[in-house]
């Protein structure tokens, strides 16, 4: 639902904020005070078209913003802030919860939130693609059947996709096989091993640094052999000559001997490593060639050896499918036929349910139209069943809502109804019957009561009130019988300040509501019109 609507610089609206509520919100007021501008502002925010002439005189831009409460929306606190700013140069700035969006994105988002019904508006229910969904939502017994069908339909699409894989004619197929076999041979000839890359790279780095390593190993060996070992040996012999004079000398000799043997062993190891650092030129070339082969395969078939080998397995599978294509296609076609047969049964079942429920829905809507003083109007539902097995996500049915407004005329699609007033009442009748299944939370009626009075007007108010039990309803009206049924009544007026006209919006208390009903019912607030307003107010549906 809409919690708050903020409008700035549209027409005579300077800066207005309206706090709306659940249930039936009624807007009444003076002619030319800005009621229509409020609805137009909502249309702008719903992604509708905008003319720069709508921007308030002497201003460079206009701005519309609303705060929405959308349970289960996934947004924090289930609150969404939507805004649209339009500059006089035509530039749009649209935002959904602070995120910049295009007008198209805004329109798509709002199409699931607001449904505006006016004399000449296009509503969601005029979209023929929604008719089958609305009928199915209304149909009580179709849900389980439709779930079964949709599961099969997904299988059906997957099989069709597999069958449509383009392996071409015999020549094309042979070319494909030649290419795939070449790829297999290229990978297998390389005799790749997982982990080989790392080992080769390590060896390559070692080779590239071998000269530096060998020079330092030789230097270390020479220093140990020429200086350190001989020096320690001389020191040992000198101390051995005097160790009998002091036990500590003997301990030092023992430690030096340990060092001597350890250094001598280290020198031998260094010498071994130095000799082992020899790499011939051929060995280096072999490693470089091997790395080049692996890199070439990586460029073609994967980022590493594991992926290359996985690709090889995929290619083998594809070769098997091509070589055994006739058998494979035969298997797929058999599976497709079985799936289609099951889908056909479910489609027939759904068709029967839709036919049965459409009769019930038609009767209810026609009763609503009669109560709206459209006794000659006849609503109908056309259900075309396709026997050519061109399945879609809803089966084989095409559903369209039709209407005839005069005796003797043939039924036509809803979009071809000429009269705005008739269209508005037809929409109201349909909305009233489908109120429980229509998922759009906010429904707006803009003076759809034009041209009706008496019983039809009262019935129109009752139906909007009924819809407001499951939706937030915002209604602009000039009829007392409709205004009397409001849960929240707003008075729209205009005032002149600093030689400029401004729109004001006020939420009325009960006493003010009675005065407003009296004003629009008789044109003057008198004891008689107030008493009449009280009587009308008693008809407010709880």
For 82, other C-beta atoms within 10 Å of its C-beta total: 23
Q: What is the mean pLDDT of the chain?
A: 84
Q: Identify which of 4-8, 163-167, 235-239, 290-294 has the greatest average pLDDT.
A: 4-8
Q: Give the residue-averaged pLDDT of 385-390.
A: 88
Q: What is the pLDDT of residues 29-78, one digit of tens each?
A: 888 888 889 988 999 998 888 888 888 888 889 999 999 988 877 777 88
pLDDT at residue number 118: 67
Indicate the helix (H) or strand (E) that contains 373. none
Measured from the Cβ of residue 426, the count of other Cβ atoms closer than 10 Å reads 26
> Which of the pair, 203 or 301, is modelled with greater confidence?
301
User: Average pLDDT of 384-391?
Assistant: 89
Task: Check residue 166 and give its pLDDT.
Answer: 57
- Cα separation, 530 vs 539, in Å, equals 15
Task: Name the one residue in this structure whose structure tokens are 């910049």.
Answer: 100
Where is pLDDT greater, at 249 or 422?
A: 249
pTM flag (> 0.75): no
pLDDT tens per residue across span 317-366: 888 888 887 787 788 889 999 999 999 999 999 999 999 999 999 999 99
Q: How confident is the model at residue 122 (pLDDT cuts 50, 70, 90)?
A: very low
- pLDDT given at position 499: 79
Read off the pLDDT of each residue in 396-425 and give the average, rounded to a whole number. Answer: 80
Q: Which residues contact 120 (CB under 8 A, 6 or more apart)?
A: 420
Structure tokens at 510: 């009960």
Rounded to 5 degrees, φ, ψ at 115 are -125, 115
Evaluate if residue 541 carries a pLDDT over 60.
no
Query: How many CA atoms lie less than 13 Å away from 353 in the CB half-sphere?
Result: 22
pLDDT band at 416 (very low <50, low <70, confident <90, very high): confident
Q: What is the per-residue pLDDT for 542? A: 45
* pLDDT for residue 277 is more than 80: no
Strands 488-497 and 61-69: unpaired
pLDDT reading at 501 higher than 50: yes
Return the higher-pLDDT residue of 452 and 92: 92
Domain ranges of the chain: 1-113+440-542, 170-323
**Percent of the chain at pLDDT above 90?**
31
pLDDT at 274 over 80: no
For residue 217, the surrounding DSSP H or E stretch is helix 210-223
Question: What is residue 263's predicted lDDT score, i.e. its pLDDT?
Answer: 81
Query: Which pair of tokens denotes residue 240?
Result: 């051995």
Burial 295-310 (b: 16+ CB within 10 A, else e): eebeeebbeebeebbe
SS3 255: helix
Q: At 136, which helix (H) or strand (E)?
A: helix 131-138
Q: How many CA atoms lie within 13 A of 500 on its CB side?
A: 14
3.10.180.10, 2.20.28.10, 3.40.718.10, 3.40.50.300: CATH of 1-113+440-542: 3.40.50.300
Residue 493 clears pLDDT 70, i.e. is over it: yes
The predicted-structure confidence for 463-473, as pLDDT tens digits, reads as follows 888 888 889 99
């Amino acid at each position: 639902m809409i919690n708050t609507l903020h409008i700035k610089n549209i027409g005579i609206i300077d800066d207005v904020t309206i706090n709306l509520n659940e249930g039936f919100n009624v807007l009444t007021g003076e002619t030319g005070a800005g009621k229509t501008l409020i609805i137009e502002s909502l249309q702008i925010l719903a992604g509708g078209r905008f003319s720069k002439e709508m921007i308030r005189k002497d201003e460079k831009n206009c701005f519309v913003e609303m705060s929405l409460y959308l349970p289960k929306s996934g947004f924090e606190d289930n609150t969404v802030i939507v805004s649209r700013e339009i500059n006089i140069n035509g530039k749009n700035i649209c935002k959904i919860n602070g995120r910049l969006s295009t007008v198209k994105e805004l329109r798509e988002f709002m199409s699931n939130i607001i449904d505006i019904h006016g004399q000449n508006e296009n509503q969601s229910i005029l979209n023929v693609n929604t008719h089958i969904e609305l009928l199915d939502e209304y149909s009580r017994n179709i849900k389980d059947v439709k779930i079964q069908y949709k599961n099969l339909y997904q299988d059906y699409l997957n099989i069709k996709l597999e069958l449509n894989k383009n392996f071409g004619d015999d020549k094309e197929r042979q070319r494909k096989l030649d290419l795939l076999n070449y790829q297999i041979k290229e990978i297998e000839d390389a005799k790749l091993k997982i982990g080989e890359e790392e080992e080769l790279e390590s060896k390559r780095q070692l080779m590239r640094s071998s000269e530096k390593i060998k020079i330092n190993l030789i230097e270390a060996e020479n220093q140990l052999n020429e200086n350190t070992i001989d020096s320690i040996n001389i020191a040992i012999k000198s101390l051995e000559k005097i160790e009998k004079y002091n036990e500590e000398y003997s301990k030092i000799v023992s430690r030096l001997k340990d060092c001597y043997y350890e250094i001598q062993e280290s020198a031998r190891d260094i010498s071994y490593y130095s000799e082992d650092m020899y790499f011939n030129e051929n060995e280096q070339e072999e490693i470089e060639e091997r790395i080049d082969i692996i890199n070439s395969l990586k460029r073609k078939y994967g980022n590493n050896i594991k992926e290359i080998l996985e690709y090889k397995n995929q290619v083998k599978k594809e070769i098997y499918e091509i070589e055994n294509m006739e058998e494979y296609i035969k298997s797929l076609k058999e599976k497709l036929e079985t799936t289609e047969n099951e889908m056909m049964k479910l489609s027939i079942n759904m068709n029967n349910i839709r036919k049965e429920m459409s009769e019930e829905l038609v009767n209810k809507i026609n009763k609503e139209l009669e109560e709206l003083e459209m006794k000659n109007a006849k609503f109908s539902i056309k259900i075309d069943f396709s026997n050519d097995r061109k399945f879609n996500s809803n089966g084989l049915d095409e559903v369209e809502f039709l209407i005839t407004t005069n005796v003797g005329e043939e039924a036509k699609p809803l979009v071809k109804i000429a009269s705005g007033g008739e269209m508005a009442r037809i929409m109201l009748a349909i909305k009233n019957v489908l109120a429980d299944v229509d998922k759009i939370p906010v429904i707006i009626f803009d003076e759809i009561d034009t041209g009706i009075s008496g019983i039809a007007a009262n019935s129109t108010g009752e139906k909007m009130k009924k819809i407001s039990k499951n939706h937030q309803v915002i209604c602009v009206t000039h009829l007392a019988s409709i205004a009397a049924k409001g849960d929240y009544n707003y008075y729209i007026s205009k005032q002149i300040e600093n030689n400029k006209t401004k729109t004001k919006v006020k939420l009325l208390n009960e006493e003010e509501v009675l005065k407003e009903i009296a004003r629009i019912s008789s044109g003057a607030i008198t004891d008689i019109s107030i008493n009449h307003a009280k009587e009308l107010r008693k008809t407010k549906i709880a």
